[in-house]
Amino acid sequence: MEDKTVSERIDDIYFINRWGEGYFSIGDEGHLSVRPDRSLSRSTIDIKKVIDEIKERGVQLPCVVRFPEILRSQVIHLNETFKTVIDEADYKGRFMGVFPVKVNQMREVVEEIVDAGAPYDFGLEAGSKAELLSVLSLNTNKESLTILNGHKDREYLRLALLGRKLQRKMIVVVERFQELIELIELSKEMNVEPLIGLRAKISVKGSGKWSESGGEKAKFGLSVSEIMQGVKLLEENGLKGTVKLIHFHVGSQVVNIQTIKDAISEGTRIYSELIKLGVPIEYMDVGGGLGVDYDGSQSAHDSSRNYSTEIYASDIVYGIQQVCDLAGVKHPHIVTESGRAMTAHHSFVLVEVVDKIGPMTTDFREGSYDDLEKPHILVTNIKEILTSVHETPFQEVFNDALAVKTDAENAFRLGILSLGEKAIIEDHFWEICRVLRGKIKHLDFISEDFESFADNLALQYLCNFSVFQSLPDSWAIDQLFPVVPITRLKELPTEHCILVDITCDSDGKIDKFINLGKYKNTLQLHSLKEDEPYYLGFFLTGAYQDVMGDTHNLFGRLNEVHIFSDVDDPHGFYVEEVIRGASAKKVLNTMQYNAGQMAYNMKKEIDSFVGLKNINPRESVKLIDFFEDCLNGYTYLRGKEEE
């Protein structure tokens, strides 16, 4: 077998070509590049040049880097894929997709999706009153759908009927039977005919982290019995003709295409039986679930999917068509609520590695504490092991060194070893580990009981960000996200690392990384250079992460930049917008602190020290200014060049 090139070996570590979907690649200079429009080969953007420009503009890291053109590309791809399949199948209905705004409620994101989807009458979905307010203002296309999910009170239903008075296609999806009763009452009160959808609890459910949102025990939806009772109630009130949609959902991030096929079969059977009962349903909403291949494995792993968008569309269209044709009923218009697949690729979190933590991060210095007249036998033993480290089998060396270190810890607790002797043993142990780690990198095979050695010796790379704010799913549900260095991608990485953030919480770390259907406990990264910043990107974060982050340790929202490609620009792009992240003042005010009062209290205390001659007046002014600058500044660490 031919030796792999450096580029191939790099891709075996980060799998960029697998999860990148053609948007991300390694450029000629070894920098990570992005192609916002996959159809244009000239639209490639060097992300290192993006970093240089935003830093010139005074934008501190960490920050969210957003590519709106990727949103547009994903919307077009989904709609064109369904259109192609529908044409090929001679399917008699349309594709009428909607974007669920809960996936990313950022106004700029929703506006871009609405604009890109306008030629396809691509609509929006809301699941709360606040989301409904937003979609009422944004989804003004009279032909596109607005799907209203979630639990609803009378105010929510009034807002929906307000949309109907404006002749919008606002479909209220009934989740609970009580909602139907209230909707009937309010529609008569407001003198407007509603458009109603019925959400069915089907037996099919997905697998993995989000499987509980589907199945018969799901939080939302009506049983078959409730659907039949609902149709009868509507008929009694002269509103049977308002039922326009049947809806079902098997969960977010559906990893196995068979789950989708089974759900389509069951859901279409419900649709066809209702059509035979004279219910004039026009739309079938198959819910969300179109997965994202986070780890590039194209498998049924929790962080992947074993199908493409083309297969997804084909199985839905042909699946519905087959059941309808057998039942002799019309083909419904097809609605999907694909949010994750629309947004995941369009943004990433950019951070700088600011330090490394670990037992092997300081240089080994022989004799640092060696002023002992008669060292303990354990000190002598560890030195002998280090001396023979290159001649002895590495497994034996490690076992012997670990035994000495363990004995030393016990001896120190019993008062037999001095602090200096314990330090000598620890220094030598970690130097032995450093040598062994270098040796096993070049071995084709190591024994099973030793294969986790590199993981146990992993460095911790300290990254200037908060996992809880920027990657909440990583912390909460062990969601895997691709992590890639922005530069040095023509150079093989040599360090095995885990990533830790700057919060004071031990959970603020990432120690699971993508590995083609599995995960690995460390990530290979480059050694840090004193005079060169080292940047990492956390990718596929455009779905949910933007809106779910918290303010743990009072770290606020990140700075954000929007990048557009421009083939006529010398760098191939321009920064269209900078949205500043939260200042310390803003975060503190959110937590009921009064930043103005805080500054006043601090000034008052500093002035008291001036009166006592402990601080001179000139210094006091500088200290007060410094405190106020910190209140108005970013909540994250400043880089050396930003100080």
From the candidate CATH numbers 3.40.1160.10, 3.40.630.10, 3.20.20.10, 3.40.50.300, the one assigned to the domain spanning 93-338: 3.20.20.10
Mean pLDDT of 371-388: 84
State the average pLDDT over residues 78-94: 97
Q: What is the pLDDT of residues 553-583, one digit of tens each?
A: 888 899 999 999 988 888 899 999 999 999 8
Instruction: Return the beta strands (E) in 483-557 as ranges.
Output: 483-485, 495-500, 509-510, 513-514, 519-520, 523-525, 534-538
pLDDT value of residue 208 = 60
* Three-state DSSP class for residue 91: coil
Sign of the four-CA dihedral 259, 261, 262, 267:
positive
**Token pair 């620009």: residue:** 569
Distance (Å, whole) CA 485 – CA 191: 59
pLDDT at position 212:
56
Can you tell me the mean pLDDT for 588-615?
A: 88
What average pLDDT does this structure show over 510-524?
90
State yes or no: pLDDT of 222 exceeds 60. Answer: yes
Tally the C-alpha atoms within 13 A of residue 555's C-alpha that lie toward its C-beta.
25
Lookup: tokens for 224: 């078959």
The pLDDT tens digits of the residues spanning 470-486 come to 998 888 888 999 999 99
Higher-pLDDT residue of 122 and 361 is 122
Q: Which tens digits make up the pLDDT trace of 89-120?
A: 999 999 999 999 999 999 999 999 999 999 99
Q: What pLDDT score does 1 carry?
A: 40
Identify the pLDDT of residue 504.
86
- Edge-to-edge order in the sheet of strand 243-247: 98-100, 123-126, 145-148, 169-174, 195-199, 243-247, 283-285, 333-335
Over residues 536-565, the mean pLDDT reads 90
* pLDDT in the model for residue 31: 96
User: pLDDT at position 360, please?
Assistant: 61
Q: What percent of the chain has pLDDT over 90?
A: 62
Tell me, what's the pLDDT at 37?
Answer: 85
Query: pLDDT value at position 578?
Result: 94
Report which of residues 613 and 468 the model is more confident about. Answer: 468
Q: Which of 176-190, 234-248, 371-385 has the lowest mean pLDDT?
A: 371-385
**What local confidence, expressed as pLDDT, does residue 369 receive?**
58
Does the model's pTM come out above 0.85? yes
- Cβ–Cβ < 8 Å for 546, 598: no
130, two tokens: 């606040």
d(CA 362, CA 377): 25
Residue 343, H or E segment? helix 340-343
pLDDT the model gives residue 88: 97
- In this prediction, residue 643 carries a pLDDT of 57
Of 100-104, 365-369, 624-628, the poorest mean pLDDT is in: 365-369
**pLDDT of residue 364 exceeding 70:** no
CB atoms under 10 Å from CB of 419, counted, come to 9
Query: Among 15, 17, 67, 21, which residue's Cα sits nearest to residue 347?
Result: 67
614 falls in which pLDDT band (50, 70, 90)?
confident
pLDDT of residue 452: 62
Mean pLDDT of the chain: 89
Q: Which of 106-120, 156-170, 201-215, 586-600 has the lowest mean pLDDT?
A: 201-215
H-helix or E-strand containing 260?
Answer: helix 257-276
Tens digit of each residue's pLDDT (9 = 90 or more) over 14-50: 999 999 999 999 998 999 999 998 777 678 999 999 9
Answer yes or no: is pLDDT of 593 > 60: yes
How far apart, in whole angstroms, are the C-alpha atoms of residue 29 and residue 190? 64
pLDDT value at 417 more than 80: yes
Residue 204 confidence class, pLDDT cut points 50, 70, 90:
confident
Task: Identify the CATH number of the domain defined by range 377-453.
Answer: 1.20.58
pLDDT exceeds 90 at position 615? no
Q: What is the DSSP letter of 542?
A: T
pLDDT: which is higher, 434 or 181: 181
pLDDT at 3 over 80: no
Measured CA distances, 595 to 158, 599, 635 (Å): 40, 6, 14
Q: Where in the chain is the domain with CATH 3.20.20.10?
A: 93-338
**Residue 545 pLDDT > 80:** yes
pLDDT of residue 447: 58
Mind listing the pLDDT tens digit for each residue in 260-271? Answer: 999 999 999 999
Spatial CB neighbours of 603, under 8 Å, sequence gap ≥ 6: 624
